[in-house]
Structure 1
């Protein structure tokens, strides 16, 4: 079976780790591809930084810092401090020395003419990831946040201000001219199952769907599309997705996010949706609008619980009608 995941960041990484564990327990014959958000990428000190991709890369490689939740384990930060002293990098955006090695390699390949897809493949070849990471698009589509004082890059709003400055909206630069990468197109078209990870709906999944042609690919795919809620009992599992949801007028609830994605039968995204058992009251309403919904435990605390969430998502996908 060919399984394609849509998402990015830590929530997606945890889900894909569970999916990979499930695949290995079942004999390792299934193929996993992840279509990764590229819209939180940006330039720092002349280097191209890709947080959503790198969170997945490091987690699947087993070299991530599990305590901080981002970056490499056993890091030092001497170079980042030196860059801040030279004024080429903001003090509020810390890059570890090992992490900088990834960014330097990425930038060198890009400047030599490699596509973002090429770079993903080269970085992923270093470790046995158990999954193939592909970019949603090969074009640069950095996310810009509209705030009262004017537009700022998403990373400044997210990292420097911790999303405490009210956002008036989000947009992606050059999105109108972007196209799905060939690798993303193939991952969606050839998939037997498509899973939407419990990633931030606004700034991780949203920019993927905003790439012109991406929604059409997903609607026309022969595979069922099942999503996993990253909202449990009215609260985000991790991060500051609630600030993003509030900014675009969406309630922080599993039901509201599913309604935001919409039913594929009504030109939306989803055939199925997993909510946590604490949100079971959302099931009837979502079924009424054409999204087959199940309530199951969604907390991914370890390998067993994470694999079970993946198993529940695949089980739901096997029952929904296209």
Structure 2
């Protein structure tokens, strides 16, 4: 295989991408990352999922929590709180440096794509990390507490409000970032990471030209399930599915992706009964680097078989 594309959100997807760059030449891997979570906070442009990929692939991530930087300090946040500033979104001192740089570069007219490539290059990341779009797309949560920006729902309210629907403001008018469609059309395999389908993958699919490219690519499209035994490894996927009236199982996820999907990698103890879909089983929990490599190789093996 030459080109491998991964559609990904943050923590769960970053694990798969990390496995991939240890399983194959990193230069063959293109991660197309959700930016529906991006937002402005304290005047700074924050790209949580892109940052998680950058930190994880450069070896700078906080391994225990899966997000943020290892060895982080919190003097900025402490001083902010002392002044009465909003401290619900955790901004570590080293993390702030990345947000300040990104915001300054955007103000100079540089694109999110170029800024992400700059940081990846500074940190020696061999894979290509592309934002899904340089346009603004905002994931909005329709909840029993009203309409919420994603980070207000996810971080400030800790996913407590019941979700009634999810929408992606700006998606219909957005265009993919340079290189996104080309990577999908030229790929030998397209993987959908075990990220939350509704919060992390749907924003990518809501960009019209990305959805079209996925229907046109000759590459097999293989998803890795975010569920193990009917539970999400991390995050609110299972809670969300229940609130949307869906059975918390792999059938619901496969049907959600629909005709885009050719293959589905699920946990050894789980099932999926959607007709016409090629299913492989493997232990999908990714704790160690060996786990991540093993799951990445299994997804590539399934894709190669489908090709």
CA distance in structure 1 between the aligned counterparts of 2:97 and 2:306, rounded to whole angstroms = 44
Q: TM-score, normalised by structure 2?
A: 0.95
Equivalent residue, structure 2, for 1:53: 50
Query: How has the CA–CA distance of structure 1 residues 213 and 250 changed in structure 2, closer, same or farther, with 3 Å as cutoff?
Result: farther
CA distance in structure 2 between the aligned counterparts of 1:242 and 1:293, rounded to whole angstroms = 21
Is 1:269–2:270 an aligned residue pair?
no
Equivalent residue, structure 2, for 1:265: none
CA distance in structure 2 between the aligned counterparts of 1:240 and 1:76, rounded to whole angstroms = 28
Equivalent residue, structure 1, for 2:34: 37
Deviation digits for residues 158-192 of structure 1, max 9, x if unmatched?
Answer: 11111111121111221221111122112212211
CA distance in structure 1 between the aligned counterparts of 2:114 and 2:243, rounded to whole angstroms = 35
Alignment check: 8 A CA contact 1:37 1:204 kept = yes
Equivalent residue, structure 2, for 1:296: 282
Please identify, of 8-17 and 244-253, the stretch whose mean Cα deviation from structure 2 is larger: 244-253
Q: TM-score, normalised by structure 1?
A: 0.91
Please identify, of 13-22 and 298-307, the stretch whose mean Cα deviation from structure 2 is larger: 298-307
CA distance in structure 2 between the aligned counterparts of 1:230 and 1:245, rounded to whole angstroms = 12
CA distance in structure 2 between the aligned counterparts of 1:243 and 1:136, rounded to whole angstroms = 26
Alignment check: 8 A CA contact 1:175 1:211 kept = yes
Query: How has the CA–CA distance of structure 1 residues 51 and 29 changed in structure 2, closer, same or farther, with 3 Å as cutoff?
Result: closer
Equivalent residue, structure 2, for 1:3: 4
Alignment check: 8 A CA contact 1:232 1:254 kept = no
Deviation digits for residues 273-322 of structure 1, max 9, x if unmatched?
Answer: 0011111x32xx22x2x21111122111212221111111111111215x
Equivalent residue, structure 2, for 1:140: 136
RMSD: 1.5
Alignment check: 8 A CA contact 1:276 1:298 kept = yes
Unaligned stretches of 5+ residues in structure 1: 263-267
SS at match of 1:163: coil
SS at match of 2:50: helix
Alignment check: 8 A CA contact 2:26 2:127 kept = no
Q: Tell me how many residue pairs correspond in the alignment.
A: 306
SS at match of 2:279: strand
Alignment check: 8 A CA contact 2:27 2:126 kept = no
Alignment check: 8 A CA contact 1:45 1:83 kept = no
Equivalent residue, structure 2, for 1:112: 108
SS at match of 1:213: helix
Equivalent residue, structure 1, for 2:23: 22
